[in-house]
Amino acid sequence: MNTRFSPSILSLAILVSFSASADYANLDSYQGKPATSHTLNANAELAKQLPWQDTTAFERTQRGLIAEFGSHEAGELKNRFQYMSGMSQDELPSSVNPSLWRQGMLNYAAGGLYKVTDGVYQIRGADLSNMTIYRTDNGYVIHDPLLSKEAAEASWEFAKMHLPAINGGHQITGMIYSHMHADHFGGSRAIIESDDFATGAPIYAPKDFIKELADENVIAGTAMSRRANYQYGTTLDNNTKGIVDNALGLGTSRGQVTLVAPTHEIQEREKLITIDGLEFLAINMPGAEAPAEIVLYVPEYRSLNTAELTYDGMHNIYTFRGAKVRDSLIWTKYLTELKLRFVDSGLVDNIHAAHSAPVWNDPTTDANEIAEYMTLQRDNYGFIHNQSMRLANHGVSINDVGREIEKIVPQSQLDTWHTNGYHGSYSHNARAVVNLYLGYHDLNPVNTNPLQTKDKSCVYVEAAGADTLYKAGMTHFEKGEYQHASQLFNDLVQCDPNNIEYRFALADSFEQQGYQSETMAWRNSYLQGAVELRTGEIQPSIKLASPDVIANTPTGMFLDFVAVKLNAEKAEQAGLNFNFGVVHPDLDEKYYGEVSNSNLANIEVTELPTTDVTLSITKADLTQIVLGNTTLEALIKSGDAKVEGNAELLQQLAGTLDEFDGMFEILPMPTK
């Protein structure tokens, strides 16, 4: 059966009419299409149901403002979203979900230095995350120094213009990382290289900070970077047909992601630390929002920093770029612990976090706004966990649980802005919960050993006929049933990626779903998919593993990554079968590895056994090789590295390793 199809004159006329103003020759001239009447009506109907009368989040965002960025470079991010200036709920764009637009307006409203309480300050709106600043006896502690060196430097310089001088200056007496995601440590080099950073000032991080950071950014780093293009919409412009918000904040800064290794990882479950006279109770709370994370209680300021366990929105249990599935049950237990221990007992006057504005109690009333906020946040994750598993125990599969849980979201959650799905969604978070307990397989035998994606699509196309599927897809599209249309158009594109009508039709259906999506990652993924379908271009990936991250990656994890890069077919053809050692004389570290059966295994040891080949090299020089700044041959020649045994084995191993460019297809690209 011929799977190619020339659309009917009627369908083609509809498609051409909808595409007439578009230019997809290249990304420079790319522009999205307008919202259809169906999308306009869907967004307008949703807007009628939203609790617009609740403006407390905007009031919290403005509270404590010391100075706005104005034209200062710390406000660069806000300048990129200048088109949002003056927008309100009375000017809702038809191409943006109204709830997501309101979240964008909220994040746009933040932009400057704020006072949380005496001694606690925040820079908000300079980056995706907040920089929190604590006053100590002789200076200030920086907590979470943003994503990039440039943003952190500009933010600290702006803060110094408005913070009180202590002993005639603004000495930085310490730095703290709440967890191991890049927007909470990426600007660290700007802080430590500042003239204000005190000699010997400590840098604190949670237990396993370096290990978990490397684990998340190295082993699957290339794939995660490519997937991040979809989550963050890297080719989309900042406008109402592109990126309007990044859920946790308006967007990300642009610049160099750096990492200064912590001088102290807090190994205990909790520890009271003192930095220049100011006490912090640091509590490890791993496995919820991040594999390594601490919250801070600051008794002198009656403040609780909840890191990323709370924010004005629902968080991800599963994140689109790819990361370990998070434990929503432990998340609820952590929030319950914090609520009972610090909030209900009256030990705090405010909670502040890595994203969004703080929450305060009103001293003029008996109401406990913080407790109410934390209870709603906790119950949101508890609802997702408990109801997902209730449904799973009734036999609802992982593929269906997202739709089923959307039907039963309690009204109290729907009526609360800060439990809405801007970063996570009820749908994909529910699937993540089921995956954590039961895995990806729904046990339907047809999915036990599934056909490959293209083969599966071609089965449908060949059985029904491309003409039939295309007409059915267009019928769904014309009714505004865009997901139904996508289902059919996707099979056509998978089976025939060169057919431009199929590609444009699928892109059109994705785009309208993006315009209707409340969740940032859903919107960006739909719109990014539309861009790649229309232009046939894949842009370079976001680089998650920066030079500083690589420099701080333990050698054992580098060897794990080498094992991932080993091409089994090439190794078998080369007949590789040997053992080896890697010695870091500067660190007194030794690693032993074996290459056998087309696999590489390694372990750190105290004493090396007899090996076929052993490489002695400093950790810094190994990092330079990984970064491509030198070669092993050059270091051996200069005497900076030494090989004992059969050096040819290392050359043979190197010849079997793949290189990852991060330019792989997510949607099929044209072959011609």
- Tell me how far apart the alpha carbons of residues 379 and 396 are, in angstroms, rounded to a whole number: 22
Q: Which two tokens stand for residue 220?
A: 């699957």
Task: Determine the average pLDDT of the residues in 370-387.
Answer: 98
Q: Are the beta carbons of 191 and 230 closer than 8 angstroms?
A: no
Residues 535-574: pLDDT tens digits? 999 988 877 677 888 888 899 999 999 999 999 999 999 9
pLDDT band at 25 (very low <50, low <70, confident <90, very high): low
| Residue type at 615 in one-letter notation | L
Q: Which two tokens stand for residue 605?
A: 């040891």
Query: What CATH number has the domain bearing residue 152?
Result: 3.60.15.30
pLDDT band at 88 (very low <50, low <70, confident <90, very high): confident
- Tell me how far apart the alpha carbons of residues 542 and 535 are, in angstroms, rounded to a whole number: 19
Q: Which residues contact 305 (CB under 8 A, 6 or more apart)?
A: 132, 143, 178, 295, 296, 297, 298, 351, 352, 353, 354
Q: Are the beta carbons of 370 and 360 closer than 8 angstroms?
A: yes
CB half-sphere exposure, 536, CA atoms < 13 A: 14
Q: Which two tokens stand for residue 125?
A: 């709106």
> Residue 394 is inside which H or E element, if any?
none
Chain center to CA of 574: 39
Integer CA distances (angstroms), 383 to 55, 413, 418, in order = 25, 10, 15
Place of tokens 């909790």: 270
Three-state DSSP class for 119?
Answer: coil
> Residue 348 is inside which H or E element, if any?
none
Q: Is the pLDDT of residue 274 over 50?
A: yes
Residues 472-482: pLDDT tens digits? 999 999 999 99
pLDDT of residue 27: 77
pLDDT of residue 173: 98
Start-to-end CA distance of the chain, whole Å, equals 22
Of 329, 346, 376, the domain-final residue = 376
Integer CA distances (angstroms), 170 to 149, 174, 203, in order = 19, 12, 17
CB half-sphere exposure, 239, CA atoms < 13 A: 9
- Tell me how far apart the alpha carbons of residues 474 and 368 are, in angstroms, rounded to a whole number: 53
Q: Is the pLDDT of residue 227 over 90?
A: yes
Integer CA distances (angstroms), 191 to 124, 132, 292, in order = 17, 13, 22
Q: Is the pLDDT of residue 224 over 80?
A: yes
Phi, psi of 281 (to 5 degrees): -95, 110
pLDDT of residue 543: 72
Residues 439-472: pLDDT tens digits? 999 999 999 999 999 999 999 999 999 999 999 9
Q: Is the pLDDT of residue 28 over 80?
A: no
Q: Does the residue 92 lie in any domain?
A: yes
Phi-psi region of 273 (alpha: psi -120 to 50; beta: other; left: phi over 0): beta
Chain center to CA of 172: 29
Among 14-23, 115-124, 647-656, the range scoring the smallest mean pLDDT is 14-23
Q: Does the residue 68 lie in any domain?
A: yes
Residues 156-210: pLDDT tens digits? 999 999 999 999 999 999 999 999 999 999 999 999 999 999 999 999 999 999 9
Q: Are the beta carbons of 655 and 574 closer than 8 angstroms?
A: yes
What angle (nearest 5°) sits at the alpha carbon of residue 184, between those of residues 562 and 254? Answer: 85
Q: Does the residue 31 lie in any domain?
A: no
- Tell me how far apart the alpha carbons of residues 636 and 167 are, in angstroms, rounded to a whole number: 52
Of 346, 376, 406, the domain-final residue = 376
Q: Does the residue 436 lie in any domain?
A: no
Domain that residue 94 falls in: 42-376
In percent, the amount of the chain with pLDDT more than 90 equals: 86
Whether the model clears a pTM of 0.85, i.e. scores above it, the answer is yes
Q: Are the beta carbons of 106 and 312 closer than 8 angstroms?
A: yes
Pairing of strands 303-305, 270-275: unpaired
- Tell me how far apart the alpha carbons of residues 199 and 93 are, in angstroms, rounded to a whole number: 52
pLDDT of residue 16: 41
DSSP letter at 301 equals G
Q: Which two tokens stand for residue 319?
A: 């994140």
pLDDT of residue 29: 78
Of 356, 376, 396, the domain-final residue = 376
Q: Does the residue 369 lie in any domain?
A: yes
Query: What CATH number has the domain bearing residue 606?
Result: 3.30.1050.10
pLDDT band at 217 (very low <50, low <70, confident <90, very high): confident
Among 32-41, 81-90, 222-231, 239-248, the range scoring the smallest mean pLDDT is 81-90
Total domains present in the chain: 2
| Residue type at 315 in one-letter notation | H
CA nearest neighbour of 201 among 147, 303, 278: 278
Task: Determine the average pLDDT of the residues in 17-38.
Answer: 74
Q: Does the residue 475 lie in any domain?
A: no
Pairing of strands 203-206, 172-176: parallel
Q: Does the residue 166 lie in any domain?
A: yes
Three-state DSSP class for 169?
Answer: strand
Q: Is the pLDDT of residue 216 over 60?
A: yes
Q: Does the residue 621 lie in any domain?
A: yes
Q: Are the beta carbons of 185 and 256 closer than 8 angstroms?
A: no
Q: Is the pLDDT of residue 21 over 80?
A: no
Among 103-117, 285-299, 356-370, the range scoring the smallest mean pLDDT is 356-370
- Tell me how far apart the alpha carbons of residues 163 and 519 are, in angstroms, rounded to a whole number: 36
Three-state DSSP class for 56?
Answer: helix
Q: Are the beta carbons of 657 and 565 closer than 8 angstroms?
A: yes
